[in-house]
Amino acid sequence: MNLAIDIGNTLVKLAVFEKGQMTALQTFEEISTGKLERFISSHQGITSSIIATVKDFPDEIKEYLQENTHFILFDIKAKLPITSTYNTPETLGVDRLAAAVAAHSIMPSETLLIISAGTAITYDVVSAGGIHYGGAISPGLLMRFKALHTFTGRLPLMDQITDTALIGQSTADSILSGVLNGALAEVDGMIEKYSLQYPGLKTILSGGDNKYFDKRLKNKTFAIPNLALTGLNIILEYNIEKSL
């Protein structure tokens, strides 16, 4: 059994994998050794673990996993089943790369656009040959709401992610329309631009806000939740195999 930990900007996700299948998932706002110990004790049989993080985390978490499991900290030194041609690999978000690994494993014969809608909306292209080219980053939905509130004098902070009219008839409704309809238009437009450059491109949608975009986009997408966690498990297994 493997433990995959994805420490994101907003949430920490812990997932257990057995024979390639996710069997447990839990999220926290912050991670601590106590929370980790309780999670592992409730899932007996974990022998290997991997962490991907976009921010600092307590050293004792790493030390605990090193002492109790075969541990990998996912960084640019880790072996990958795909190749990235990103010019600045040291700045590439490990969550983006993990999602690219998972997407390629699911559709290995397709050129893919992976869209992760979370704190940021990220776009990554992976070829059918398993080459990660890079992509784009833009603000996520909540970040757009917070930006309007923070950088203006009177606009309220909104966080409602639901259907909204195109024409807002109040300031609150206008913010909802601008952020939500604007983000939909952006994602659809980006899919169309990438599809022009890569004919036959397939699009995979993931991330915490994927439920808002799924079924509302004009372009066809394949919604796959927890893509980064699945990729982390694949990377962990790959590195264990290479170390034998």
* Catalytic residue check, 95: yes
Cα gap 124→116, rounded to integer Å: 9
Q: CA 4 to CA 233: how far, in whole Å?
A: 6
Burial class (CB in 10 A: 0-12, 13-18, 19+), 22: middle
Sign of CA dihedral 231, 232, 233, 234: positive
Query: 209, 223, 216: which is closest to 166 by C-alpha?
Result: 216
CA dihedral (217, 220, 225, 226) in degrees, to 10, reads: -100
Instruction: Output the CA torsion 156→187→99→40 (10° steps).
Output: 30
Q: What are phi and psi of 124, to 5 degrees?
A: -140, 140
Annotated catalytic residue: which of 6, 95, 124, 209? 95
* Residues forming the active site: 95
